[in-house]
Amino acid sequence: MNKKVLITGGTGLVGSELIPMLQATGWQVAVLSRSKDASAPYEIFEWDYHKDYIEEGAFNNVSAIIHLAGASVAGQRWTAERKEEIFNSRTKTSHLLFKKLNETEHEVKTFVTASAIGYYGNDTGNATIKESAPVGHDFLAHVTDAWETATSRVSTLGIRLVQLRIGVVLSQKSGALMELIKPPITAPLGKGNQYMSWIHIEDLCRMFMHALEEEKCTGAYNAVGPKPTTNKALTKAAASAFGKPFMPIPVPKLALKIFLGEMAQIVLGGSRISCEKIMTEGFEFKFPKLEEALKDLKSR
């Protein structure tokens, strides 16, 4: 099998960490991007879902695709236009990949795509959620359900499909962790007892590698660590690890809704997500405990 993988969303939080890991283990990487970059340490092919376009030759010698593309759900307030971009950047890119794979001679055998634990809904309380749980009813659940429906079409082409439902990614570069410790004084959000199903960025990238290389992996998997914790506990541990003061008085729900608008549901809701399925299929976490994960990220 050719060890060449085509990646979408290669410059994002996950892609920028995953690509060097792939290259270090012998994978040749090509990236679909909206623009060329001569300084990039990999081959770039242009694409544009608005124009239904993927540059010719993008699938040459490619045996696997990792689909990470999607506008950030936390980057801007959820205006009608932003919500449309969040939806389209996931679903229309997925439809485009399916269409071109269906029309083009290729050697693609594996398709690993990002998804999100938002599939289950904004707030599932204290119940432990497995992959068999039903889809939720809010905006992000609608987006994720449509996203998975779009990527599922790839499996009709005889391609092995893996959908990783990603939780709260802890990284020293950006994302939830950096937002939690950004204020001068850290504090829980809302009640603080909502669950945050977190995963260290390295473990998440290793999980993508596992899904890519283990042929027994197929279908949906929860991409979270084995020890979910509450918003209050995670914030307190992050503050301690990064030397920030912690105030146990929560930021009121109303203040978050005023400041963030509808997007506040991301931090006010929570889910206790199980990773049992992928662990039973052989995946082992490098950072199963929060304190170990935070210590490693602080040292980077």
State pLDDT tens for residues 240-282.
999 999 999 999 888 888 888 888 888 889 999 999 999 999 9
Q: Given a cut of 90, is residue 212 above it in pLDDT?
A: yes
Answer whether 19's CB lies under 8 Å from 208's CB: no
Does position 100 have pLDDT exceeding 90, yes or no?
Answer: yes
Question: Could you tell me if 289 and 227 are in contact, meaning their C-beta atoms sit under 8 angstroms apart?
Answer: yes
Whole-Å CA distances, 109 to 44, 62, 146, 147, 208: 21, 9, 23, 20, 15
Average pLDDT (57-64) is 97
pLDDT in tens, 17-36: 999 999 999 999 999 999 99
**In the structure, what pLDDT confidence band is assigned to residue 39 with cuts at 50, 70 and 90?**
confident
The pLDDT assigned to 75 comes to 77
Give 249's DSSP letter.
Answer: S
How far apart CA 100 and CA 276 sit, in angstroms, is: 35
- H or E segment to which residue 294 belongs: helix 290-299
- The DSSP output letter for 45 is E
- Look up residue 202 and give its two tokens: 């390295």
Whether the predicted model's global pTM rises above the 0.85 cut: yes
